Structure 1
């Protein structure tokens, strides 16, 4: 004989029949997206206004709309806008890449800068730079080849059964450590002038970047960003696990390969332009997860917006917080990322003790 069973009360509905909680969560997500977009725009304007020549915000807006005087337009549009746009675009690319890999590995540490893909891209780009083959296209191709080769190596050593395993992440960390040593060896064995330039690049910096760097980078990122929304369904299915994904009819190997290629390409483009910018790809998806609590999995849009805001903010701090000294942007991202990583590692234990 069975006893009375507990029933779950239906969600409250609006007079038209729509469920209020779901609508409220959607409105909250839209509000969060608009807030992040507004903050990104604010950092962009601040980056265009601040510098050795201070430009009032109304003059910045006039320059952006084509109504500024020649000097202001030169300062805003020619000198500062490429760097500011690259900070937002590269941050968004790293945030997307981090979201892809953290979802595939189902691990908050599974970002490209932790599991070695960022380091592999740096190795490929360094090899091009140290052979004297300058140029954005060659450096970008070197970074892409290095990142894909590293991904293939990590997958072969630790991810044959599944990328969602501790072994895969640990293998990536080990490969990253080895490649870091390789990068150091490459710089020590190079010509002094080339090694100096490579050392500046490995610090990660957006300084002295102009339209000749911004245009190719934005063109390269555009198709990668546009194709990402079409991969959301595949990513969501793979997040359920390989067995469930196979049962649902997903082509697991092909989907993982395609997502890995897009994720590595996003990282490679960012690395080829600004050098290795650590921890943006690690932190942005987790920030998005906190902000978009009711969204299943990691919000790709939220990760992109969070990454853009993180890198743009870090670049502003690097350029202006210690003026007249300018820090490499990578120094700021590493400092902030180290604190975030400690919080990420110690947070669960602290919450368990409180509970």
Structure 2
């Protein structure tokens, strides 16, 4: 095969032995997304029950010349905005990884039921009791001591393991993975709803707000776990890019090019589950972020697969924008998940309609 001229090749970013292709359109989209994210973050910090203006919010964050504004921004609003940025980035990266290795735009953590498993485990901790009050005492105390983050993480990993076992048949077929994931997600949702029926009214109210995906009242204790998971998972995810590009050629072609397909699929799914579970444990299941954001980033960058970094930036921008809409437009207390669902649900309908048109041609 004749080699492409040097001028037509995409430039590459080299970090030691690792070489990553860099396309101008993807870089421009990512930079524009970062600028938009900064605007949203500044607006989110400046808006609330007490509006202080964009300039005052920026000065309070950077300089701190006004003690009252500095306290308001740094101690109350900045943690919530930081959670929005990190959770959106984690969900965007999780969705991009899942859709890439499955080669299916429907294969996102929320569609596959991974976030449903994390939500089920978290709801068990929130209601803090066994169904109907049986065994309340020791079991309730043990559940409360487990904590929301470890419970959501364990629930996400357990649902992913179940999904892998049910979808595996001499390999992992992307279509079977989506179908099994939808069925598993429906079953996990049914169990979650049953727990809410038998729980006390106070616990149900708390769980329902959390299940919609809320950023209200988030503090630094919610920021740290998501930041740690994102910092740990992001570098290995970048190292998987070369293998994920090869997988786009098909399973047989990837094996022929030396890709250890099962190992790469397992590592990719594990990274996606960790990211989704961390985000769910902090803000609840923000529906359709992991599903819609990679497809938005894909169309903005014009690549062959959802871009990882651009998906992170778009995810962070979407969640912060949702929080800003909740503060400015919607009544107080409305969870951000209502806004993200309003954005993502039409995207799901559009993808299904697009797939039907392709199949009918």
TM-score band, normalised by the shorter chain?
0.7 to 0.9
Unaligned ranges ≥5, structure 1:
1-7
- Quick check: 1:106–1:164 contact (8 Å CA) kept in 2? no
* TM-score, with structure 2 as normaliser: 0.86
Unaligned ranges ≥5, structure 2:
13-21, 129-139
Task: Please report how far the alpha carbon of residue 350 of structure 1 lies from its aligned counterpart in structure 2 after TM superposition.
Answer: 6.3
CA distance in 2, matches of 1:20, 1:343: 34
Alignment of structure 1 residues 209-228 onto 2, 5 Å: 209-228=218-237
Aligned to 2:150: 141
SS across alignment from 1:296: coil
Q: Does 1:237 align with 2:246?
A: yes
Aligned to 1:99: 96
- Quick check: 2:103–2:248 contact (8 Å CA) kept in 1? yes
Q: RMSD over aligned Cα, in angstroms?
A: 2.5
- Quick check: 2:26–2:310 contact (8 Å CA) kept in 1? no
Alignment of structure 1 residues 161-200 onto 2, 5 Å: 161-200=170-209
Task: Please report how far the alpha carbon of residue 351 of structure 1 lies from its aligned counterpart in structure 2 after TM superposition.
Answer: 8.3
CA distance in 2, matches of 1:336, 1:32: 20
- Quick check: 1:204–1:277 contact (8 Å CA) kept in 2? yes
CA distance in 2, matches of 1:86, 1:107: 28
**Residues 65-95 of structure 1: per-residue CA shift (max 9 Å, x gap):** 1333111001111111111111111111101
Aligned to 1:75: 72
Match for residue 34 of structure 2 among 33, 37, 41: 37
Aligned to 2:348: 341
Q: Cα distance 1:174–1:79, how it changes in 2: closer, same or farther (>3 A)?
A: same
SS across alignment from 1:114: helix
CA distance in 2, matches of 1:307, 1:175: 25
Aligned to 1:259: 268
* TM-score, with structure 1 as normaliser: 0.88
Task: Please report how far the alpha carbon of residue 45 of structure 1 lies from its aligned counterpart in structure 2 after TM superposition.
Answer: 0.4
CA distance in 1, matches of 2:24, 2:325: 32
Between the two structures, name the one with larger relative contact order (CA 8 Å, sep ≥ 6).
2
Task: Please report how far the alpha carbon of residue 127 of structure 1 lies from its aligned counterpart in structure 2 after TM superposition.
Answer: 1.9
- If you compute each CA radius of gyration, which structure gives the higher value, 1 or 2? 1
Task: Please report how far the alpha carbon of residue 349 of structure 1 lies from its aligned counterpart in structure 2 after TM superposition.
Answer: 5.4
SS across alignment from 1:297: coil
Task: Please report how far the alpha carbon of residue 149 of structure 1 lies from its aligned counterpart in structure 2 after TM superposition.
Answer: 1.3
